Structure 1
Amino acid sequence: EEGALPDDWRVARVKPLHKTGDKTQVQNYRPISLTSTACKILEHIIHKHLSTFLEEHNVISKAQHGFRKGYSTCTQLIQTIHDFSEAINEGKQTDAIFLDFRKAFDTVSHNKLIYKLSSVIKNDKLITWIKAYLTNRRQFVTLNGALSHSIPVESGVPQGSVLGPLLFIIYINDIVQDLSVNVKLYADDCVLYERINSSEDQIRLNNDFRKVMRWCDRWQMVINFDKTVYMRITLKRNPLLYQYGTSDSALSEVTCYKYLGLWISNNLSWNKHIDTVSANALRKIFFLRRALRFATPETRFLAYNTIVRPILEYSVMIWDPYTKINNNKLERIQKKAVRFIYNSYGRTSITNLLKMSCLPSVTDRNRICRLKFFFQLIHGQYNIDISKIVSYSSGYATRLRHALSIKPLSTRTNCYKYSYFPRTITEWNNLAGHIVEENNLAHFEALLQQ
């Protein structure tokens, strides 16, 4: 009612979370704010009402997939990779600029955020409360049991808070305004891309990149030119060349880039990503072997499911391998995991161990994962528009086709044929009618497993 909150609700304990690189360099840590539990309860209430208002009034751009109901990294990646692979299928080139913002969450101007909030929210009491929530904050750092002195926080949204991510996507929302090329966002992860038919398309893409730079200058965001790169995604032997950036700061070209956790290559081969995932999963298994030497098979099975499988299954519907070589790499991981679970090495038959574990093959599990996601898409459980990709075939069910068949997509290249939508639509059409007619996701998955 008064638009105020207690002072101790505005004190944050910051724990540095290592990202990558040299652990002695402070820039390689992400600050996570641990805030008042009581404050978080109120934040949840405000978040619920504010996010509902924003979605009902279509305030947030559809390009933004971060921290929103019905969106995820998978929805963003599926749309983006589909656009890339479809262009390759048509013999086209796509140029993409992957942007990196320096300390994006920490550089948000409180005054400018309040200005943006006031333009979309006509509730003075809420605006006053959010202003009080953001200002006069203090924080101290805790590391290895030691505490620093507290210092004032003069900018940024609190990381690790409930409201922080929502406030950030409101702040960055208008970055897409006046852009003519494709743009996708997941919080501060941003990619601009365009199909290239002539140098004019490349000039337009670069001009839009410069528009983003001007937006950053106005709203106190900083582009990290060391990590902002561009890629030419094509199978052409002689792609159209262009140097993106400015006269002062040319961007570097890459042939492979890690975006939202996936290694994307310029020919959309997933070899690099699969090799990285396999190596990471193996390291986890070897770590668990040492840590759980005396554990029961049940405990090891739980450790595999909670620590290793998420590595193998993150966004797997997008990069699910179709070549025998890459499939074997993933199946090899599961075989090593099963030996770890039963602490059975040497000459013990892996076939018998796999039967004992009752684990489906990685190939079958990935197929189920793709079909489950497709089920959620066509039942509107994700808020992305697939109407230009997915349309039902006309006519009645026949002996060879069920009534919910989808029109197949025409493919000319393996890159597109085995990408998410063409591949999964074919598998959907091959399912039995009673499976696709199921309306409950859990029942649908159970039928797939049978």
Structure 2
Amino acid sequence: MKRSAKGADAMNEAVTRGIRMAAKRTIPKGKGVAPAFWTPELTKVDKMVQECENERKRDVLIRWRRKVLADTALGRWKENVAKLSATDSASWKLVKSIYAPRPLTSPVLVVDGHPPTKRQQVQALPNMRMARATKAPHAPEMKIPSTRRCTFQPITEAELDVALRELFSGTAPGDDEIHCEELKQLGRASRTCVLRLFNCSLRVGQVPVKWRHGIAVPLLKPNKPANSMASFPSVTLTSTLCKLMQRIVARRVRDCIEEKIQAQQAGFRPAHLTLDTLMQVTNAVRQRKDGEKTAAVFIDYARAFDSVDHGCIVKELLSFGVEKHLVVWIAGFLKGRTAKVRANNVLSGDISLTCDVPQCSVLGPLLFIVTVDSLTKRLNCTPGLQHGFFADDLIIVRTSADLSEIQRTIQQGLDCITNRSAEYYMEVSAEKTEYTLFGARETSLLSLKVGETVLKEVRASKLLGLTMQPNNGLSRHALSVKAAANTRLMQLMAVASPEWGPERRSCAHFTFHLSSRRYAMTSRRGGSIHRCRIASCWRGCRHRRCAYWPAFAEPLTRRTPCAFYYLRQMRVACKMQAVALHFCSPCFHF
């Protein structure tokens, strides 16, 4: 242990070292031996090909080797498919990897027409990260409240047990090299030591230095060019003990603020879905009277999570009445955070993160919705203006027969959003913010501005995966759902097996009863073209012999209340409840 380590840092090092030693003594060492793909028969045939001098015989042997290789691959694939389980995450990762979009092949970075070295690449990525998460120059310092007159509520064993059960297995460890599985297997004495560490950290408000350090691993997005820095979102690996502590703190904070958060916020909250925001918009469009028009503005924040000031987070937590010991601990967790970037097995130097909420942490999303809740309160004071939040996705809606009234109300809401965002050192991206006017065939009837930038009008707006058009309704969204359903069916066909999936009664229940109960929402009336497009997916399912899929399906007729019902039912059945699809005859693709 270092002599400079004090308090929570010293206890953290002792607990971490003890867990490592226990894991080293308990977990047996050994390398998993995977069966060799190149069988002895293939080795023999390959040797015959190399030794053969006759060209004709050599071609015959090459074709024979190709056939043996294909038979071996097919047999191995059949063995793997037979082991698939509908409740196994590894099985679904295999399914999703089939026909999945791949990144475009190009160098990671290109400078003056030449790819830089690994060290230069690693240094370029942290410079971009540090530029995005740097505190505003005029932002005041974070004020940490005093806890002298506050009663400390220690963390109990029950809270620790609940947090341990919520840890995800199979995740990569942070710099402490402790896996979640190791924490779940701790004995009673070890859990007491961990509990003592957590209470010490919470009582004095001191967060160990290693808990505030992370390793950022940039990952290339599918279908994105690798020579663009914006194509590399990073995943930050942090201490597993810190994740466990964050779950305990987050549960206490959520219990305090859940009833006080405005109803318009639907992101990162229990019992709230994206449908809450979607239905608010679709109902505003559907329920307008004859002659009325509805304007919807889709707000886009530039670096929403990366630009949140730490002082604003602390101020909002105190306004919600969160216990001061929790506020002080969160302030210590946010202050002095550092990170390294790991790319191509090379580590960069430490970079300092002076603002932002950690997106890959447990507390990050919760702190973000706490910060933007004050904006929701201000928008509620604007008469006639409706709005909805899902995390950082914000939409404002106004319905009226008078275009001047729509112009005045929407512009007032945009000014409120711009001013409030500036107070919290956040920036609205005027280039990516768009609006759509429903109920009018003419364009450019409104002139909306964010600052001095005039917003552009779009005829096909997209909100949380739902594409809406003023005149064609959900026609484009129906096409996208059809393409997604066909892709998932192709993926399932590649691993088709009559033994994979739940029993048939469960299939029918999950696919049709729950989907209709959860997603049978009223929306705009779908046309015959929409119904035909969705019906083609049902015919595709029938063609692929899906068990009990079309058996309980109501025929799509003109009396069908809406296409949105079937769009949502199709998405549930194809994407979320795809375990219900098992086929009568296997089809292998490799």
Structure 1 length-normalised TM:
0.68
Distance 1:324 1:194 in 2: 29
Shift of 1:328: 3.7
1:12 deviation in Å?
2.2
In the alignment, the residues of structure 2 paired with residue 252 and residue 330 of structure 1 have an alpha-carbon distance, to the nearest angstrom, of 31
Q: 1:37 to 1:254 in 2, by over 3 A?
A: same
CA contact (8 A) 2:265 2:388 kept: yes
Question: 1:186 Cα shift?
Answer: 0.5
- CA separation in 2, counterparts of 1:359 and 1:334? 8
- Unmatched tracts of structure 2, length 5 or more: 1-202, 566-590
Residue number in structure 2 paired with 1:250: 454
Does the 8 Å CA contact 2:295/2:406 hold for their aligned counterparts? no
Match of 1:53 among 211, 235, 256: 256
| 2:269 alignment partner in structure 1 | 68
In the alignment, which residue of structure 2 is the partner of 1:153? 353
Amino acid at match of 1:418: C
Equivalence for 1:212? 417
Is residue 77–residue 318 contact of structure 1 (8 Å, CA) maintained in 2?
no
Within 2, Cα distance between the matches of 1:297 and 1:252?
52
Amino acid at match of 2:497: T
Matched, 1:85 2:229: no
- Does structure 1 retain, via aligned residues, the 8 Å contact 2:300–2:430? yes
The alpha-carbon deviation at position 11 of structure 1 amounts to 1.9
Contact 1:85-1:419 at 8 Å conserved across structures: no
Are the equivalent residues in 2 in contact too, given 1:19–1:30 (CA < 8 A)?
A: no
Change (3 A) 1:321 1:142: farther
Q: What is the CA deviation profile of residues 282-320 of structure 1, one whole-angstrom value per residue up to 9, with x for unaligned ones?
A: 23444555x54xx53444999xx9xxx9xx999674679
Q: In the superposition, relative to structure 1, how do residues 337 and 38 fare at CA in structure 2: closer, same or farther (>3 Å)?
A: farther
2:206–2:329 CA contact under 8 A, matched in 1:
yes
Q: Is the 8 A contact 2:368 2:391 kept in 1?
A: yes
Q: Is the 8 A contact 2:542 2:550 kept in 1?
A: no
Q: Does 1:3 align with 2:205?
A: yes
Q: Secondary structure at the match of 1:272?
A: helix
Distance 2:497 2:347 in 1: 39
- Number of the residue aligned with 1:418: 562
Q: Which has the larger radius of gyration?
A: 2
Aligned to 2:392: 188
Q: Is the contact between residue 418 and residue 450 of structure 2 (CA under 8 Å) also seen in structure 1?
A: no
| 3-state SS in 1 of match to 2:216 | strand
C-alpha separation between the residues in 2 aligned to 1:321 and 1:195? 19
CA distance in 1, matches of 2:429, 2:525: 33
Secondary structure of 1:39's match?
Answer: helix
| Aligned 1:42-441 pairs, distance under 5 A | 42-56=245-259, 58=260, 60-87=261-288, 89-121=289-321, 123-143=323-343, 145-179=345-379, 180=382, 181-198=385-402, 199-234=404-439, 236-237=440-441, 241-246=445-450, 248-267=452-471, 269-287=473-491, 289=493, 292=495, 296-299=497-500, 317=521, 322-337=526-541, 353-354=545-546, 357-360=547-550, 363-364=553-554, 418=562
User: 1:93-121 CA deviation, whole Å, 9 max, x = no partner?
Assistant: 01111000011011111122112222223
CA distance in 2, matches of 1:184, 1:137: 32
Regions of 4+ moved over 6 Å = 312-316, 318-321
Indicate how the Cα distance of structure 1 residues 283 and 241 shifts in structure 2: closer, same or farther if over 3 A, else same: same
- 1:426 match: none
**1:244-290 deviations in Å (ceiling 9; x for gaps):** 1157211000011111111121236111001012123323444555x
Residue number in structure 2 paired with 1:347:
none
TM-score, normalising length: structure 2: 0.53
Cα displacement string for residues 216-243 of structure 1 (whole angstroms, at most 9, x for unaligned residues): 1111111112210011011x44589111
SS in 1 for 2:454: coil
Residues 130-178 of structure 1 deviation map (CA, whole Å, 9 limit, x = unaligned): 0111111122334465544332211111112111111000111111233
Whether the aligned pair in 2 keeps the contact of 1:135 and 1:154 (CA below 8 Å) is: yes
Q: Which amino acid aligns with 1:3?
A: G
Partner-residue secondary structure (3-state), 1:183: strand
